[in-house]
C-alpha cells in the first residue's frame, strides 16, 4: 500500500519536473515581458556565479589623529562602508606611524600625534576586538574619528558614538586603559610593519594601492558583478 503511494508520489514529481523544464523555456522566450528583476535580484543571481570571489578586500592603515585619515574616513570610507559593507572584507589597522617599545616586558608606544593618539588607537583596536563585527566596529571607529570636540577618538567620543549606535562603550574604554589595549596595539604595529607603508592613510583594495580620493569608484571597479550601490554609482557618474 505504502509502496503504491510512493510510486504515485514519485511519478508525480517526475512529471512535475518534466513540466518545469518545459515551462522554463517558455519563460525564457518571454522573459522580458514576464519578469522584471530588481537590481538586487539580478545581483543575487549573478553573484552565485562568483560566490565569495565577488567580495572585495579592503585594508586600511591609519592613526586616529591624522587629519588626512579623518578626512578620508569622513568623506570616502564612511559613505562607502555604509553602502557596501556587505560586499567587502574590511580589515583596519589603527596604528599608523607609531612605535612600539618593549622594556622588561612592559609595552609602551610613541605616536606621531602624541600620547592621546596612542590611547585613541587603543580605543579603535579595542572596538574591533569587542564588537566582533567588522561593520559595527568600523562604523564606531569612523564615528570616533569624526567626533570633533577635542581631537576625537577619546573617551567622550567613545561614549557619544556608543550612544548613537545603541552599544556599550565601557568595555572598550576599560580595554584601552588596560593590558589588552596594549597587546592589541602591539599586534596592529606588527601587522603595519609588514605592510611597509611610509604614509597614512594607506589604503589597499584587493592588494592594490588606492590614493583614497575616489574610494567608492576604486572599490566598485574591483567587482566581477557590480552590487547595486555600485550600479547606482556608475549610472550617475559614467
Ligand atoms: C515591467 O516593467 C515595465 C517598465 O518598467 C512595466 O511597463 C511593466 O508593466 C512591468 N511588467 C511587470 C510584469 O511587472
Ligand atoms: C554586523 O553588523 C551589521 C550592522 O549592524 C549587521 O547588518 C550584520 O548582520 C552583522 N554581521 C554579523 C556577522 O553579525
Ligand atoms: C619597504 O619600502 C621601502 C621604500 O619605502 C623599500 O626600500 C623597501 O625595500 C621595502 N621593504 C620591503 C620588505 O618590502
Q: How far is the C-alpha of 88 from the C-alpha of 86, rounded, in Å?
A: 6
The pLDDT tens digits of the residues spanning 2-13 come to 454 444 444 444
Q: How far is the C-alpha of 209 from the C-alpha of 76, rounded, in Å?
A: 15
Phi-psi region of 197 (alpha: psi -120 to 50; beta: other; left: phi over 0): beta
Q: Is the CB of 85 under 6 A from ligand 2?
A: no
Residue 233, C-alpha cell as written in the block: 554609482
Residue 185, C-alpha cell as written in the block: 596595539
Interacting residues of 73 by C-beta distance below 8 A, sequence separation 6+:
62, 141, 142, 145, 146
Is the separation of the CB atoms in 68 and 201 below 8 Å?
A: yes
Ligand 2 centroid from CA 16, angstroms: 39
Ligand nearest to the CA of 82: 2
Cα–Cα–Cα angle for 66, 130, 212, nearest 5°?
30
Which of 130, 133, 142 has the most ligand 2 atoms within 8 A of CB, as the residue to mutate?
A: 133
Which of 136, 137, 140 has the most ligand 2 atoms within 8 A of CB, as the residue to mutate?
A: 136
pLDDT of residue 9: 42
The residues of the chain scoring below 70 in pLDDT are 1-35, 50-52, 235-238
The pLDDT tens digits of the residues spanning 49-70 come to 766 678 999 999 999 999 999 9
Please state whether beta strands 202-205 and 88-94 pair in parallel, antiparallel, or not at all (unpaired).
unpaired
Amino acid at each position: 500500500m505504502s509502496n503504491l503511494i510512493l510510486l504515485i508520489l514519485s511519478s508525480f514529481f517526475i512529471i512535475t519536473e518534466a513540466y518545469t523544464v518545459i515551462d522554463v523555456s517558455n519563460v525564457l522566450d518571454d522573459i522580458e515581458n514576464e519578469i522584471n528583476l530588481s537590481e538586487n535580484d539580478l545581483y543575487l543571481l549573478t553573484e552565485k556565479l562568483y560566490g565569495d570571489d565577488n567580495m572585495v578586500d579592503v585594508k586600511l592603515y591609519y592613526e586616529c589623529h591624522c587629519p588626512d585619515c579623518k578626512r578620508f574616513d569622513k568623506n570616502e570610507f564612511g559613505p562607502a562602508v555604509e553602502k557596501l559593507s556587505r560586499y567587502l572584507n574590511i580589515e583596519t589597522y589603527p596604528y599608523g606611524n607609531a612605535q612600539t617599545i618593549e622594556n622588561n616586558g612592559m609595552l609602551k608606544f610613541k605616536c606621531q600625534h602624541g600620547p592621546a593618539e596612542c590611547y585613541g588607537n587603543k580605543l579603535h583596536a579595542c572596538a574591533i576586538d569587542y564588537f566582533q563585527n567588522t561593520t559595527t566596529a568600523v562604523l564606531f571607529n569612523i564615528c570616533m574619528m569624526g567626533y570633533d570636540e577635542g581631537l576625537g577618538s577619546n573617551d567622550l567620543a567613545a561614549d557619544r558614538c556608543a550612544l548613537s549606535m545603541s552599544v556599550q562603550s565601557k568595555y572598550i574604554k576599560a580595554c584601552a586603559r588596560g593590558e589588552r589595549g596594549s597587546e592589541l596595539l602591539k599586534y596592529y604595529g606588527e601587522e603595519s610593519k609588514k605592510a611597509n607603508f611610509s604614509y597614512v592613510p594607506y589604503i589597499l583594495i584587493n592588494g592594490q594601492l588606492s590614493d583614497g580620493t575616489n574610494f567608492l569608484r576604486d572599490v566598485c571597479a574591483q567587482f566581477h558583478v557590480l552590487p547595486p550601490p555600485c550600479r547606482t554609482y556608475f549610472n550617475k557618474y559614467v
